[in-house]
């Protein structure tokens, strides 16, 4: 899994692959820091090169790889 963290006060929109459809894409909105929900866990197969570009070129988010057995699921 990939942990995506938004360190800004505004929401960031990234493009991810849809589940179940190989060439379909959708957008993911990650809220800003003030909401307290600025961390999102993304499956490895849903990642795109756009996420890497947003992190490296624009510096809006940070990502890190987390093994599947260490992910702590939070209920809302």
Domain ranges of the chain: 2-69
- The pLDDT score that the predictor gives to residue 62 is 92
The whole model's pTM is what? 0.79
The pLDDT score that the predictor gives to residue 75 is: 45
pLDDT, one tens digit for every residue, the chain (76 residues): 899 999 888 999 999 988 888 789 999 999 988 767 889 888 888 888 888 888 888 889 999 998 877 666 554 4
Count the neighbouring beta carbons within 10 Å of the beta carbon of residue 40: 19
Q: How many CB atoms lie within 10 A of CB 51?
A: 19
Tell whether the torsion through CA atoms of 53, 31, 39 and 24 is positive or negative. negative
């Amino acid at each position: 899994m990939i942990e995506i963290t938004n360190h800004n006060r505004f929401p960031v929109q990234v493009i991810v692959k849809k589940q179940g459809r190989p060439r379909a894409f959708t957008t993911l909105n990650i809220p800003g820091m003030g909401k307290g929900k600025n961390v999102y866990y993304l499956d490895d197969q849903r990642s795109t090169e756009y996420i890497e570009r947003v992190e490296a070129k624009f510096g809006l988010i940070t990502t890190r790889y987390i093994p599947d057995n260490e992910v702590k699921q939070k209920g809302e």
